[in-house]
A and B are shown apart, each in its own frame.
Chain A
């Protein structure tokens, strides 16, 4: 019985962390250049859209539902996510656009490359091992993790004071950032305690996800010098492990409080922006890249209201230089258009604050 329960929980995690985002990713992937229709890119694109949809549904429900908010959120998000995933799968079955371009042949690696890749995977395994076997105390968990738990046990979304359990008015600073509710959704789908999801399961997913992004960034950087990629990954892994020069660095946040929204920002949202920017700078005419950028700006609110400000800042500064580089007004306009969801979020935040 226990084995069956564990199997079902694992299956639930697989479906809601990997399969559904991947199938959703099949929708935008068909509009990407052929060389980028890889499983990793499909998954990342799908994950951005999956969380952007969750953010939109989540914010609407948080602002409107006083009682039973979590049930309403699940009632709306579940069919929406399944529908998008089915659409992606159906489209791929009817008109295969990704499968024909997935390379099955693997390049033969040199001994040197194999050795350095091995080094990287050892460093990653070490990080995952520590995250699973060690407890990382952080005072903010008394707020964020408890919000996930309240949503699961009481159904209230941001309407209970997490520190004590007293009733409170909607906390606008956090109400638009629904990452804790995504944790609750995973807990509901798998019947696992939200605190276990946050502390023990999410790091095993979010850390490899961050490295998948670093890998894609490396791929974009080393187009013709692909043998540099394992060295890049080793150095990235080391920088995460030794980046704790102060408690404020992005590396410290990613490694010691992986499950919090702000750490998701440094482990996924900001690297995803860098990755998309590299893709855009390579081929500015690809509309799918710009749409993914807009979706990323939209989903950045899931982490925290502040992250939307930061991402908008990045979009504007990087976009300005890109427009200058190509001497193109349309690029500037596209940049501004990609930032519209973020601007709308900020206006909503200021209006409700």
Chain B
């Protein structure tokens, strides 16, 4: 049980992160413990949230949570603490207690500084970039998807994309099936996919090995970044280079395309 308790503490530490906002919250709770006289607000700001915090730290809760739900999302318990409302309310309580406008502006300024310095700016994040379009997807992914959707003869598109585009392809069109998806890219999930292995884990892409896997699955499009080296010219293996779009080489596997035409293609008429 002590091990589970340590886990809870670690989860709390990870949640608190590298800022001091959580400590500002605790300070606000302590302030309200003395300053708030209205009973219903005391239970709203102090008793109920602190009970939630204790329940979170209680090892049996964690044990039950993992049994019924999962291991990874326990930190979401801490969403139940009204951190923002408590800090803002305490700040207002201090602000309203001051009568002179100068002191009021000064206190507001100090409150702003406390929040700014104890927190971390949300938009300072490498995952936030200028949007290229209203889909908020990379323009290159959209252009390649449009090209393939236009080129396809049937409602049967099965493609291999470089890993940089895997997250986005099916957010643009679910008509395109992928040989491997986002789950393969998350290391901690520990999944393995042979197509991903050939495409991403070697300096040179072995086209012959790749086609050995993709052809039985009827994968008809292969998209490869132009900077990637292949052990031989892909066109020698029956791949037809359709175009280069935004630095991505789009190949159609003619062997698979012919097989689809002759077999299942007519059952999958193009709908777009």
Check if B263 is an interface residue, CB within 8 A of chain A: no
- A239 CB contacts on chain B under 8 angstroms: 21, 83-84, 87-88, 115, 119
Query: Do A244 and B121 contact each other (CB < 8 Å), given the known contacts A231-B91, A317-B51?
Result: yes
B22 contacts A245, C-beta separation under 8 Å: yes
**A246→B123 CA distance, assembly (Å):** 13
- Residues 306-327 of A, flagged 1 when their CB comes within 8 A of B and 0 if not, give 1001100110011001101100
Check if A249 is an interface residue, CB within 8 A of chain B: yes
**A278→B43 CA distance, assembly (Å):** 10
Query: Do A130 and B89 contact each other (CB < 8 Å), given the known contacts A153-B173, A306-B73, A317-B51?
Result: no
- B47 CB contacts on chain A under 8 angstroms: 321
Most chain B CB neighbours (cut-off 10 Å) among A130, A243, A305: A243
B40 contacts A282, C-beta separation under 8 Å: yes
Chain B residues 188-214 with CB under 8 Å of chain A are none
**A303→B135 CA distance, assembly (Å):** 22
- A116 CB contacts on chain B under 8 angstroms: 108
- A136 CB contacts on chain B under 8 angstroms: 127-128, 136
B79 contacts A310, C-beta separation under 8 Å: yes
**A165→B156 CA distance, assembly (Å):** 11
**A270→B52 CA distance, assembly (Å):** 14
Query: Do A306 and B76 contact each other (CB < 8 Å), given the known contacts A235-B111, A246-B18?
Result: yes
Identify B85's interface contact among A130, A142, A214, A248, CB under 8 A.
Answer: A214
Most chain A CB neighbours (cut-off 10 Å) among B68, B79, B131: B79
Chain A residues 219-278 with CB under 8 Å of chain B are 221-222, 225, 227-228, 231-232, 234-236, 238-246, 248-253, 255-256, 262, 265-266, 270-271, 274, 277-278
Chain A residues 130-188 with CB under 8 Å of chain B are 130, 132-139, 141-143, 145-146, 149-150, 153-154, 160-166
Check if A112 is an interface residue, CB within 8 A of chain B: yes
Specify the main secondary structure of chain B where it touches its partner.
helix
Query: Do A135 and B121 contact each other (CB < 8 Å), given the known contacts A149-B171, A246-B16, A250-B79?
Result: no
Check if B33 is an interface residue, CB within 8 A of chain A: no
Check if B153 is an interface residue, CB within 8 A of chain A: no
- Residues 9-34 of B, flagged 1 when their CB comes within 8 A of A and 0 if not, give 00000111111111000000000000
B139 CB to closest chain A CB (Å) equals 11
**A278→B124 CA distance, assembly (Å):** 35
The 12 listed contacts between A and B (C-beta, < 8 Å) are A112-B101, A164-B170, A164-B179, A164-B180, A196-B134, A199-B134, A235-B111, A243-B83, A245-B19, A249-B15, A256-B128, A270-B80
Given contacts A199-B134, A236-B85, 10 further A-B contacts (CB under 8 A): A132-B131, A135-B128, A153-B175, A165-B174, A239-B88, A245-B19, A252-B122, A262-B76, A313-B55, A321-B43
